[in-house]
Structure 1
Amino acid sequence: MGGLAAAFSLFALYLAWHASAEPDPSPADESPIALAAAEGPASGSPASGTEAALPSDAAGASLVKRGEYLARAGDCIACHTADKARPFAGGVPISTPFGTIYTPNITPDPNTGIGRWTDADFVRAMHEGIGKSGERLYPAFPYPEYTRVTERDVLAIRAYLKTVEPIHYAPPRNALSFPFNLRWLMVVWNLFNFDEGRFVPDPKQSPEWNRGAYLVEGLAHCEECHTPRNFMQGLKSTDRFSGATVSGWHAFNITPDKTSGIGAWGGADLASYLSTGVAPGRANAAGPMAQVVEDSTQYLTDEDLRSIGTYLRSLPPVAGGETRARDQWGAPAHDDVTTLRGTKIAGVNGAQLFIANCATCHNWSGQGVGASAPGAYPSLIHNSVAGAADASNLAMVILHGVERTTKDADVLMPEFASQLSDAQVAAISNYVTRQFGNPGSTITVDQVAKLRAQQQ
């Protein structure tokens, strides 16, 4: 064991020396990707990348506006805002198998934020995962995806962040177990899980496809939630976009497989889901995805939404083993209410709990209330959560509710974690999947208890 430890130490020292001694591998930034870069809602002459080179205040304002749009596309505010009264001040706890990481303050505060960072410091962090003082950043910050963003766009985001309110706030220190608290070990992680370099358009593909690829693989960092991870917590390149679990929530397969993925979705379905959180008759965004819609994708242009759909539908389909699409299950309940009348209930009864807690909004028949109105309470029939092979998301929705604000509607489902026991949540979940969704999908009381304990 002593020999193995010594050999590992020598290998690690070699990697650290090699990383510090090798020349900067960063390629020169490409010329602006006119056909692939995410364009903001306001067009203008391409920004040169530094404020000093701006020809006018109008150009500076255009750069900031573009940076705001790109920061929305990257959903920066979600991970860097623990308290809505302190936007971008960090402090969001991110749970990992190795401990908890707290996101940093990225406001222009000079002492607790990034006010003393140069543009070069910011670009290096985004492209290489290296902080101002040369420290290795942890991949909870998705630099493996952000490395693909052009320097032009990175500098636009930087220009926008300089305009947000500086907030003096120091987030908690990371709570990582040894040896994962040693940042230099990220040299080893990067060796196996990180390829530094900018996005290069595919000349064989359309401008719309290239724009979608640039967004999905870069700023939007969709793989971070929708791709499973290896034992080092890097992304499994062989199962891209096939689905993964994040903080107890299952991020579904978004490859074009017609059964397990979104292959049966039309372009309008996906655009509607990303802009409103609802794909009628298919899905309603909850959990982390509801926050993505609220903070990010609802602000994307129609062109960018179409581009994302074009790219996702071109991916290799990955089958997940399902025999029927998630949104093709279920039928209305017909006689559960009348059956319960005058019946003495013994123990925990899913039908009784559903009618008592859920029927006001979802109707005792499960068909929802409000039809297709923007603020309608969704039907549980032909619903991807009720029809999923794994009932975890359904239980998580019952535990934590749904809160999603878009330009179309304020959606609020109350949380029941404080009102229902694990046994009651399991009973309602199993009733819903049996009656309105996939009857083969069940959840145990112990599984609900584990989901309840997940840090959100």
Structure 2
Amino acid sequence: MKGFAAAFSVLALYLAWHAPNDGEKVPADELPMSAALAQGASEVATAGASAPLASSTASAAVTPSASVAASEQATAAAAGGSAAGTGGPAGGAGSNADGAAPMGAAMTDLVKRGEYLARAGDCIACHTADKSRPFAGGLPMGTPFGTLYTPNITPDPDTGIGRWTDAEFLRAMQKGIGKGGQHLYPAFPYTEYTRVTERDLLAIRAYLNTLTPVRYTPPRNELAFPFNQRWLMFFWNVFNFREGRFVPDPKQSPQWNRGAYLVEGLAHCEECHTPRNFTQGLSSSDRFSGEVQAGWHAFNITPDKAGGIGNWSEQDIVDYLAKGAVPGRANAAGPMADVVENSTQYLTSDDLRSIAVYLRSVPPVAGGQTRPRDAFGHPADDVSRLRGTRVAGVDGAQLFVANCASCHNWTGQGVGASAPLAYPSLIHNSAVGAPDAGNLAMVILHGVNRRTKDADVMMPGFGDELNDDQVAAITNYVTQHFGDPKATVTAQEVAKLRRQQQ
């Protein structure tokens, strides 16, 4: 132990000396001139803060194409970038073959592309606590070390990012360093955003500049010592962060590379679907194999046929991301419903298919499962047993018939059959057939609220109507009849789930 402590002390002293004495390295795909021009664009915007920051977005529109076009051309092409307004790295925003398009049109295209990319990154989900103040931050995020509150990213000059230069914005997104040089906490997924090209990040910044400034200061973080010491993030980054832009794989198709660029970058899918190590960094050995976040299990999305989504078709994945539901397989709830509502439903079909192609190529992880989650279930007939009998105590069948059967039918097959707005069947349902009944209990507690272009889906939460024993009884009845009978939950576990910060 003494030897280990001495070695760690030497390492810490070396790193502490190395940080201030080593000049900041410029990644190969970022030319010094581009950083200088980007900074100048924001300085002009700050000077004209009373306007809707048109000068900033106009300057940003020409900066990327002028300075980093050569370095990003291969990445953009391999990633399958779409035309302007669809969010591809090779989008036409700010570019003009004839050089004759008016600056207003270039700015509009850039902002439109930035809005699409901000959707892909689901920025609004984390940076909105009050829907009347979009992007103004303040959302509490529970961590094992305390509660973090997301920052205001509207262009307000005092409480938001209105005074940030483009260079500072890029540094935060790609390096995890704030405006004042402080380390950002990795609840902000800069570990994924570091792979995003400078062009796309500047497009997002141009879009954010057009938002209505909101003067709002989020609460201070509630972290105990020593986790409130941001400088310690330097050591966390040494073990868990590798800065660098996405590099296309020449052995793969443009569609695969586009999917990889989105999944590993802006969409930051690993942040929820990959297990974490003891430092809360991502476990590289079990990528996409599932993890629990705020009481919700983000399921295994590797192509394993039993543990993951290997028995899903490519179209199933596209439909799930676009609509939040695939009959006979899954219905998005909890945080994933928010992702569909705020982000993936707005992606183009080409991008969604690229994501599906990439996910179907990652190494499969079974996770100990031998049967797919959506392969369980058979109709129930307990309503006949209950008729005319006196029920004593907490009875799962009685509670199900009283609270759930009006929508899901007392057989569990759902009401409405295959109609577009049918109530989902509990048979062949991945949440019900999961080996952990936690997600099902969370749905009963909190319900489902998912609004898409196709439908508004709402299931009321029963957390205020039913106690922990009753929620546990319904959960266990549903899993035993329609899902994995080995998946059970206790009243104590329901109480713990109920306390999870949402």
The bucket for the TM-score relative to the shorter chain is over 0.9
The reply to whether residue 35 of structure 1 matches residue 78 of structure 2 is yes
Whether the 8 Å CA contact 2:308–2:365 is kept in 1: the answer is: yes
Question: 1:413 maps to which residue?
Answer: 459
Question: 1:187 maps to which residue?
Answer: 234
- Tell me the amino acid that sits aligned with residue 16 of structure 1: A
Question: 2:401 maps to which residue?
Answer: 355
The reply to whether residue 389 of structure 1 matches residue 430 of structure 2 is no
Cα offset, 1:2, TM superposition = 11
- The verdict on how the C-alpha distance between 1:39 and 1:23 changes in structure 2, with shifts beyond 3 A counting, is farther
Whether the 8 Å CA contact 1:47–1:152 is kept in 2: the answer is: no
1:60-99 alignment runs, 5 A limit = 60-99=107-146
Identity of aligned residues (%): 72
- The verdict on how the C-alpha distance between 1:55 and 1:196 changes in structure 2, with shifts beyond 3 A counting, is farther
Question: 2:328 maps to which residue?
Answer: 281
Cα offset, 1:374, TM superposition = 2.9
Whether the 8 Å CA contact 1:38–1:214 is kept in 2: the answer is: no
Distance between the aligned counterparts of 2:83 and 2:321, measured in 1? Answer: 17
TM-score w.r.t. length of structure 1: 0.95
Cα offset, 1:367, TM superposition = 0.5
Q: Deviations over 1:249-297 (max 9, x none)?
A: 0000000000000000001100000000001210000000000000000
Distance between the aligned counterparts of 1:268 and 1:37, measured in 2? Answer: 19
The reply to whether residue 111 of structure 1 matches residue 158 of structure 2 is yes
The reply to whether residue 423 of structure 1 matches residue 423 of structure 2 is no
**3-state SS of 1:219 partner:** coil
Distance between the aligned counterparts of 2:198 and 2:274, measured in 1? Answer: 26
Aligned pair partner of 2:279 in 217, 232, 236: 232
- Tell me the amino acid that sits aligned with residue 396 of structure 2: G
Whether the 8 Å CA contact 2:84–2:110 is kept in 1: the answer is: no
Whether the 8 Å CA contact 2:275–2:283 is kept in 1: the answer is: yes
Q: Deviations over 1:189-232 (max 9, x none)?
A: 00000000000000110000000000000000000000000000
Q: Deviations over 1:304-331 (max 9, x none)?
A: 0000000000011011111210000000
Question: 1:452 maps to which residue?
Answer: 498
Higher normalized contact order (CA 8 Å, seq sep 6+, divided by chain length): 1
**3-state SS of 2:156 partner:** coil
Cα offset, 1:13, TM superposition = 4.8
Q: Deviations over 1:12-38 (max 9, x none)?
A: 454233123212234132314123165
Question: 2:24 maps to which residue?
Answer: 24
Question: 1:178 maps to which residue?
Answer: 225
Question: 2:64 maps to which residue?
Answer: none
Distance between the aligned counterparts of 1:310 and 1:347, measured in 2? Answer: 50
Distance between the aligned counterparts of 2:137 and 2:5, measured in 1? Answer: 37
Whether the 8 Å CA contact 1:38–1:70 is kept in 2: the answer is: no
Q: Which sections of structure 2, spanning at least 5 residues, go unmatched?
A: 30-70, 96-100
Distance between the aligned counterparts of 1:11 and 1:191, measured in 2? Answer: 11
Whether the 8 Å CA contact 1:40–1:66 is kept in 2: the answer is: no
CA RMSD of aligned residues (A): 1.9
The reply to whether residue 401 of structure 1 matches residue 447 of structure 2 is yes
Distance between the aligned counterparts of 1:232 and 1:319, measured in 2? Answer: 24
How many positions carry a matched residue from both structures?
A: 451
TM-score w.r.t. length of structure 2: 0.87
Whether the 8 Å CA contact 1:38–1:215 is kept in 2: the answer is: no
1:294-313 alignment runs, 5 A limit = 294-313=341-360
Distance between the aligned counterparts of 2:493 and 2:82, measured in 1? Answer: 44
- The verdict on how the C-alpha distance between 1:185 and 1:393 changes in structure 2, with shifts beyond 3 A counting, is same
Distance between the aligned counterparts of 1:379 and 1:80, measured in 2? Answer: 34
Whether the 8 Å CA contact 2:84–2:93 is kept in 1: the answer is: no
**3-state SS of 2:113 partner:** helix
Question: 1:51 maps to which residue?
Answer: none
Distance between the aligned counterparts of 2:429 and 2:351, measured in 1? Answer: 26
Question: 2:318 maps to which residue?
Answer: 271
- Tell me the amino acid that sits aligned with residue 371 of structure 1: A
Question: 1:374 maps to which residue?
Answer: 420
Whether the 8 Å CA contact 1:136–1:186 is kept in 2: the answer is: yes
Distance between the aligned counterparts of 1:6 and 1:324, measured in 2? Answer: 49
Question: 2:175 maps to which residue?
Answer: 128
Distance between the aligned counterparts of 1:21 and 1:108, measured in 2? Answer: 34
Q: Which sections of structure 1, spanning at least 5 residues, go unmatched?
A: 49-53
The reply to whether residue 139 of structure 1 matches residue 186 of structure 2 is yes
